[in-house]
Amino acid sequence: QSGTSSSTAAGASTPAATASAPLPSPFNGAPVKVALVRQSGAGDFFEAWGAGATAQAKAANIELTVTDARNDNAKQASDLEQAIASKPAAIIVDHGQTDTLQPLITEAVAAKIPVVTYDLALTDATGVITTSQSDASMAQGVLDQLVKDVGDGAKVGYVSATGFAPLDARAKVWDQVVAAHKLDVVFSTGKVTESTATDNIPLVDAALKQNPDVQAIFAPYDEITKGTVQAVIQNNLQSKVKVYGIDISNADIQVITADGSPWVATSATDPAAVGAGVIRTLALSLAGQLKDTSEQFPAVTITQQFLADNAVTNVTQLRVAEPKLKLDTTVVADWLPAVSG
Amino acid sequence: MTSAPLNPNEGHDDPVVSLVGVSVSYGSNLVLSDISLEFRPGEITALLGANGAGKSTLIKALSGANSRYSGSVRVAGESVHLATPVQAKALGISAVHQKVADGIVPGLSVAENLTLDDLAQGSKHILRNHRRQLADARSALATLGLEWPDRVLNQDAARLPISDAQLLVLARALRGTPRLLILDEPTSALTAAEAERLFGVLRSLRASGLSIIYVSHRFGEIEALADRVVVLRDGTVQSTTERPFGWSGILHDMLGRSADLEHDRGITHRGTDAVATLSEVTLFSGSAPIDLEIRSGEVLGVLGLIGAGKSEIAELFGGLNSPLAGTLSLGDASYSPRRPGDAIAAGVVLVPEDRQRQGILPGWSVLRNITVPFLAESSVAGIIRKRFEASRADVVINTLGIVASGPGALIDDLSGGNQQKTVVGRWLSAKPRLAILDEPFRGVDIAARREIGSRLASIAAEGAAAMVLSSDVDEIFEVADRIVVLVSGSIELDAYADELDRATVIEAFLGSHQSSTSRKDPE
Amino acid sequence: MTSATPTRVRKSSAGEQFAAFVVKWGFVGVTIGLVAFFAISEPSFRTVDNLFGMLKFIAPTAIAGLGVMLAMTVGGIDLSVGASAGFAVSIAAWTMVVANQVGGVAVTVVLVCGLLIGALNAFLIVVARIPDLLATLTTMFVIVGLKLIIVDGKSISSQMTLANGQTAQGKFTADFLWLDRGSIGPVPVPVILFFVITVLLWFLLERTRWGRALFAVGTNSEAARLAGIRVQWYRTFAYMGCGLLASVAGLLLAARIGQGDVTAGNSLLLDAVAVALVGVSVLGIGRPNAWGTALGAVLIAVMVTGFTMLGLPYYFQDFGKGVVLLIALLFSFTFSRRRTVVTAGSTTSN
Amino acid sequence: MTSATPTRVRKSSAGEQFAAFVVKWGFVGVTIGLVAFFAISEPSFRTVDNLFGMLKFIAPTAIAGLGVMLAMTVGGIDLSVGASAGFAVSIAAWTMVVANQVGGVAVTVVLVCGLLIGALNAFLIVVARIPDLLATLTTMFVIVGLKLIIVDGKSISSQMTLANGQTAQGKFTADFLWLDRGSIGPVPVPVILFFVITVLLWFLLERTRWGRALFAVGTNSEAARLAGIRVQWYRTFAYMGCGLLASVAGLLLAARIGQGDVTAGNSLLLDAVAVALVGVSVLGIGRPNAWGTALGAVLIAVMVTGFTMLGLPYYFQDFGKGVVLLIALLFSFTFSRRRTVVTAGSTTSN
Ligand SMILES: Nc1ncnc2c1ncn2[C@@H]1O[C@H](COP(=O)(O)OP(=O)(O)OP(=O)(O)O)[C@@H](O)[C@H]1O
Ligand SMILES: Nc1ncnc2c1ncn2[C@@H]1O[C@H](COP(=O)(O)OP(=O)(O)OP(=O)(O)O)[C@@H](O)[C@H]1O
Ligand SMILES: [Mg+2]
Ligand SMILES: [Mg+2]
């Protein structure tokens, strides 16, 4: 099996959208070679993202060569370098560090290779099409929900790590919200490791033992959120502590919908839909049909209540219950409908 | 020397073990070919042969330690394939191998090492029982007439000196009353007194009907002990001789040429200038200070029991230790080496007593083992000159007759004696001012011993000094011009060999000790 | 005399006795000191809940560490424990969620897989004569890759959409989750497992002849072989035991996360090796041992919890781990006159 | 003297010669086979660009692996290479971005830090007599923690806000970035460094007396000491050399990443150890060696690139790494009659 078959998994149970027009140039000939340079493909979010991208690429007659740096930024730089050297029709860069990738992207642009970035902050985006799921808006959405639930001045905890671009972006919003609503941050811990979910349990466990009166915890990365939830359950505080996360996956839905789960809200895009959206952005641009040079995929705040009301147990059902996730009206064309939607 | 009749006096005894057409090869090396031998109850068979003749190899096959032999082995008339040591032991074949280190498990206590076989046995007690183990250990030692206190039995076996480790392994081999006991150079790490006691034990075991195979390079022991002698040469049985032994014939069979057993040293040299001196040196805290002069032009033999302080003297000169009190000097200058490198630079070389631990570099070729201390000499601007290295190694290999497939052969593949020759040869090739050899004859055959002896004589003749440390009176008499007896860190006797008789030396060597310690004599 | 008494034994001086005492109890002292410090400065640290919480959280690491310790008794090491634990997590999830089996079946399947991984290691080391470090490193890569291939790189959770488009019907059953959430009296199940396994291994190694034989194989396999100990069997046993323990650790992780987290187990290796190595050096024992390993694990748990309660960021834990390890090692090796005798891990084929 | 006749020598059989050949060249064969396979099936694989790209990508791993190899020559191992490389990345960034220094200064500071880390390891091992595995594991934790404490857990990038509220004025200077982006002729700088270091180490180890002495220390340190070799100096040299090489690897990573990424170096350790261990077993040499290590690194690069081009997900790389490692090891150990003699890493104090 390869990545291709897993793409079927992500998009499977929804009927494949059918194109109502033939593929335009350059997609009507031999497959178009595109390099997808990823910072990481491991973990549920990135896995689904990759699957969505692969499925959409197939529909658009794009041959994707995916490199996965497994969170090793040096390797991502090498991958991008090698991608440029292989002279593809276009390059997609998925996440990464600004200072690492900016010079290489500039090089690619200079070599006249179209570049699309996803969730990558650039200092010089000339000639680059940028897409993002907007970490800031995601964090804002779920934090609004938090403030609504527990009110100003509540005792809150924060579980995250520094040194990772999306987490740092979410941290900025957190700091603003804390200041604006005078939240009382009683603890702040967390780390990202090779086994993030497991490794955060003891940290949150210790923090909860010390601060059992905390009302809400913001854990802005679903792997961390999962660990946080386990720690809350372990301390029997699920009726007193609410957990707010970011991202969604089958595994996350299972945790949110479990009996008495403290995870009450998450803010998310459908990673598969976003992955597909990025490919569509690229395809439209290559076909000369893209108007903007930047594209934002909006996030949706999903509450536990919503999932319960709609009896949602997996991402496929969630797409049905919350059609906004499908992004099937964002960057589409008659020859290029959204595959996962 | 001619093949003896297969039916000696006690001819009605069927052989305990017999070998028919046994061959062993290591890779492309045919080490034993077509060996046929019989071993009878109540008989001690001495296995003789030059270094590398194949003695240890034969023993490994016979004790199940090397199952890759061809030919057949019969035990009590039944044809068996000896695949594992357990199997051999179950059939009553028990062996003490040449490498003592192969018999000791560091980290386990002395008592546990004495009862190591029990760990392997399926049926017996699963749970450890400390008291039972001590009792078993004591009774194992009792067969050798040894009584070690519990404190010793409980300590880590790694801390036993090599001679005690050898005794431990022997005691273990005698547990479970074997039918055939194989001893591969068991006395090479023992002192004369310990060896004597071992012989007593062996004689009484023989009387009880045990068959014993005894490997040694010490002809005195064989003369004293063996009922017959089997000589191996180049992997074949050269001859089998019954008592009385015709030594010159045996030596001829062994070496392939004539040699004398009694070695006439001719004149005893008198040294001239003091090359090195110890003044007022205390070897152990509390022992009396000693003065000793090591002179050029003579070979000095230092005789002492284990623990007498011989190795201490060697270590002082070798730069491994500094004296507790007193001073060393070399020539006219005072000498205080801080590390072995200083000693080597000053022309002092030390052949250490434990070649496995202190001498050889396992996995390295003979050539590189020989040249390792002389890397600076054999290199220009740090780059090693291979040809220079090779010629140095060739000289050593040829002068000492090291049996190996070539200078590139791995040292591990050499027989024990040849490994020892390699280490001795390495150090003597340094053209030293002072050569100190700590127990240099462990496991080397008579020809090599002579060779080492004459090398020592010749470096002495060239104006250097040589000191041999040993606990074997015969060895000392064979090589030394001057003899010093060391007892408990002090000098008991210091005289030229031709002015001494053996009795005086042995008296000085053992006498005071026997009176100071209450040792139980075996039998 | 000949050696009627082998070594001259000197009376040890007061200084040496003190040094020996420090070596034996120094590490325990450090642990107790840290516990006391945290207990005084952090009220929530000194609760029974927290005690069990800490032990529960470290249990998988400790059990995997005990596995490594077992491999170390035969002179080896096992770098595949983290991978094996992660494999166990995915396989347990797959069995329950995708194959829709109950927890008991999952446990059985996982334990069998653990034994098989151990057997693979043993095969590579004993039969194929590949040195332990290399063999288990290879197994690590193979197992991690295999796991991801089996699960298509995805975490397995109930209701997930399968490759065939259907929804996975199974879920983590209550009996399986009991492994993490259950308790007997006030004591959580993982803590009980941790304790029972420690005691069993201690008993095996120190009180039975098999334990001694394992050590004999580890310190001088040639002597052991010549004494008739079935060296290869003991090696195989040790690696299979290690595989089994790693998969037990994996079961606990799976029950804790409640889903087939693909990243689980990845961070286990270094900590497991660290506690096993610390185990060798603490208590002045100088060879792999169960209580020392357990103590090493407890110290890590104490540090992680205490530092978090003090509000220090996670990286102070690493630093603290390093410093405390260092102090422990100085006690055990630098101030000690005793020699430890175990060689763990070599690139020499046996 | 005795007859110096060598023992009778049988001609080695054709089978044995074949086995020896396979042992010597098996691993090279696997590498060439893979290269050929990828070159045929993927046109973009067989470009010069791709060749240099692969070598460039693997250069830091290879250089760190050569460091581990150096530690292995004296019978040790170094588990702190990944941490040292990561430390180098952060320190280089700190020097240029926060302290606003030029690249040359950063390089100097980093190399000195690398030597110091090596000296710390050497101190723990040589003076404090802590076994290498434990000592370097401890150093690893300490260095990782220290790095994160120094940078407050944050990746350092230009224009970042400092603790005092100001904006960092420095940046990665062009001369520093040249380490990654520069090339001499068509050959990228990292590839040149990789090659030069390999050749230097090969020369040191195989042609000079110092190399011979390093091996002697690793094989039997007591015998080496008695042969007049200053064992402790060589040990110190090896660990400091390893620290230096790890920090060179870190410099390359820093230049590639272009910022003080805190996660850099994390994934280096296992690969570096793996290539050093593979190095021991390939080419039938049976001891640590430079070319074998380099070849091991190249094989990893080939696999990672080739598998990616074939469109296989990342986890096939792990599996492939495992399988290829396994094949290489089978060639070297199982089908070989030669004994490899290096013990890397022990918990025995020296
Ligand atoms: N493992 C091995 N591989 C290859 N050759 C070996 C091996 N072991 C021994 N040999 C060779 O076999 C021959 C016989 O060795 P063996 O150890 O049996 O001699 P020995 O008669 O016991 O000599 P010594 O008196 O020196 O102990 C020697 O030439 C030796 O080099
Ligand atoms: N620091 C020490 N503590 C306890 N015992 C010691 C110490 N140093 C030496 N010994 C013991 O003192 C004795 C002296 O040993 P050494 O090997 O130096 O004597 P030797 O005369 O060279 O004997 P041989 O070389 O025949 O073994 C040994 O039994 C040794 O175990
Ligand atoms: Mg022999
Ligand atoms: Mg001595």
The confidence score (pLDDT) of residue A79 equals 87
- Backbone dihedral angles phi then psi of residue B262, each to the nearest 5 degrees: -80, 125
Nearest to B421 by CA among B369, B363, B460: B369
Interatomic CA distance for residues A224 and A193, integer angstroms: 10
Strands D187-188 and D183-184: antiparallel
Residues of D in contact with C138 (CB under 8 A): 322, 325-326, 329
Partner residues linked to B292 by β-bridges: B278
Tokens 């070998």: give the residue: B19
**Cβ-proximal residues to D18 (8 Å cutoff; 6+ apart), any chain:** none
pLDDT confidence of D336, banded at 50, 70, 90?
low
Nearest to C320 by CA among C14, C31, C2: C31
- Backbone dihedral angles phi then psi of residue B441, each to the nearest 5 degrees: -100, 10
Ordered per-residue pLDDT tens for chain A, 341 residues: 333 333 333 333 344 567 778 888 888 888 999 999 998 887 778 888 998 999 999 999 999 988 888 778 888 888 898 889 888 999 999 988 888 898 899 999 999 999 999 988 888 888 999 998 878 888 999 999 999 999 999 999 999 988 777 888 899 999 999 999 999 999 999 888 777 888 888 889 889 988 899 999 999 998 899 999 989 988 889 899 999 999 988 888 988 998 889 999 999 888 889 999 999 999 999 998 888 888 888 889 999 999 999 999 888 889 889 888 888 888 888 888 888 54
Q: What is the mean pLDDT of residues D204-232?
A: 93
The confidence score (pLDDT) of residue B53 equals 86
Interatomic CA distance for residues C141 and D131, integer angstroms: 26
User: If you compute the radius of gyration of chain C from its CA atoms, what whole number of angstroms results?
Assistant: 22
Partner residues linked to A160 by β-bridges: none
Return the residue whose CA atom lies nearest to atom 25 of ligand 1. B51
Contact C262, C154 (CB under 8 A): yes
Tokens found for residue A60 = 């658009």
Contact B166, B198 (CB under 8 A): no
Distance of CA B452 to the CA centre of its chain: 15
Interatomic CA distance for residues B191 and B308, integer angstroms: 11
User: Of C150, C161, C304, C321, which to mutate for an interface test with A (greatest number of A Cβ within 10 Å)?
Assistant: C161
B444 to B218, B409, B450: CA distances (angstroms): 9, 19, 10
Coil vs helix vs strand at C214? helix
Partner residues linked to B354 by β-bridges: none
Contact C253, C205 (CB under 8 A): no
Coil vs helix vs strand at B492? strand
Nearest to B444 by CA among B49, B28, B12, B3: B49
HEC readout, B24-77: EEECCEEEEEEEEEEECCCCEEEEEECCCCCHHHHHHHHCCCCCCCEEEEEECC
Return the residue whose CA atom lies nearest to atom 3 of ligand 1. B413
Which of A194, A206, A254 lies nearest to residue C305, judging by beta carbons?
A: A206
Scanning every residue of chain B, which has its alpha carbon at the shortest distance from the alpha carbon of C212? B119
The number of residues in chain D equals 350
Contact A146, A263 (CB under 8 A): no
DSSP structure string for D106-127? HHHHHHHHHHHHHHHHHIIIII
Tokens found for residue C216 = 């004999």
Q: Is B116 on the interface with C (CB under 8 A)?
A: yes
> Is B451–D222 a contact, with Cβ atoms under 8 angstroms apart?
no
The C-alpha angle with vertex B109 and arms to B103 and B110, in degrees rounded to 5, equals 60
Q: Is A210 on the interface with C (CB under 8 A)?
A: yes
Scanning every residue of chain D, which has its alpha carbon at the shortest distance from the alpha carbon of B52? D7
Q: Is C224 on the interface with B (CB under 8 A)?
A: yes
Residues of C in contact with D319 (CB under 8 A): 141-142, 144-146, 148-149
- Backbone dihedral angles phi then psi of residue B277, each to the nearest 5 degrees: -135, 150
Tokens found for residue A31 = 């497959």
Tokens found for residue B254 = 């062994």
pLDDT at D9 over 50: no
Coil vs helix vs strand at B117? helix
Which of B86, B128, B197 lies nearest to residue C228, judging by beta carbons?
A: B86
Contact A132, A118 (CB under 8 A): yes
Interatomic CA distance for residues C279 and C70, integer angstroms: 11
Could you say which residues of chain C have pLDDT below 50?
A: 1-11, 339-350
Please identify every residue whose CB atom is under 5 Å from ligand 3, which is an ion: B 56, 98, 415-416
Predicted TM-score (pTM) of the model is 0.83
Tokens found for residue B483 = 């003899």
Scanning every residue of chain D, which has its alpha carbon at the shortest distance from the alpha carbon of A73? D257
Q: Is A42 on the interface with C (CB under 8 A)?
A: yes
HEC readout, chain A: CCHHHHHHHHHCCCCCCCCCCCCCCCCCCCCEEEEEEECCCCCHHHHHHHHHHHHHHHHCCEEEEEEECCCCHHHHHHHHHHHHHCCCCEEEEECCCHHHHHHHHHHHHHCCCCEEEECCCCCCCCCEEEEECCHHHHHHHHHHHHHHHHCCCCEEEEECCCCCHHHHHHHHHHHHHHHHCCCEEEEEECCCCCCHHHHHHHHHHHHHHHCCCCCEEEECCHHHHHHHHHHHHHCCCCCCCEEEEECCCHHHHHHHHCCCCCEEEEEECCHHHHHHHHHHHHHHHHCCCCCCCEEECCCEEEEHHHHHHCCCCCHHHHHHHCHHHHCCCCCCECCECCCCC
Interatomic CA distance for residues A283 and A289, integer angstroms: 9
Scanning every residue of chain C, which has its alpha carbon at the shortest distance from the alpha carbon of B144? C4
**Cβ-proximal residues to A288 (8 Å cutoff; 6+ apart), any chain:** none
The confidence score (pLDDT) of residue C62 equals 96
Contact D42, D35 (CB under 8 A): no
Tokens found for residue C335 = 């101030």
Interatomic CA distance for residues C82 and C144, integer angstroms: 9
> Is A314–C160 a contact, with Cβ atoms under 8 angstroms apart?
yes
Could you say which residues of chain B have pLDDT below 70?
A: 1-13, 122-124, 258-267, 306, 510-523
Query: If phi over 0 gives left and psi between -120 and 50 gives alpha, with beta otherwise, what is residue A258?
Result: beta
Coil vs helix vs strand at C79? coil
Residues of C in contact with B106 (CB under 8 A): 219-220, 341
The confidence score (pLDDT) of residue C337 equals 52
Tokens found for residue A101 = 């990738």
DSSP structure string for D38-97? HHHH-GGGGSHHHHHHHHHHHHHHHHHHHHHHHHHHTT---TTHHHHHHHHHHHHHIIII
Task: Count CB neighbours of B444 within 10 A.
Answer: 25
- Centre of ligand 3 from the C-alpha of residue B60, in Å: 10
Q: Where are the alpha helices (DSSP H) in B63-173?
A: 85-90, 110-114, 116-120, 130-142, 150-153, 162-173
Establish how many alpha carbons lie within 13 A of residue C150's alpha carbon, considering only the half-sphere containing its beta carbon. Answer: 21
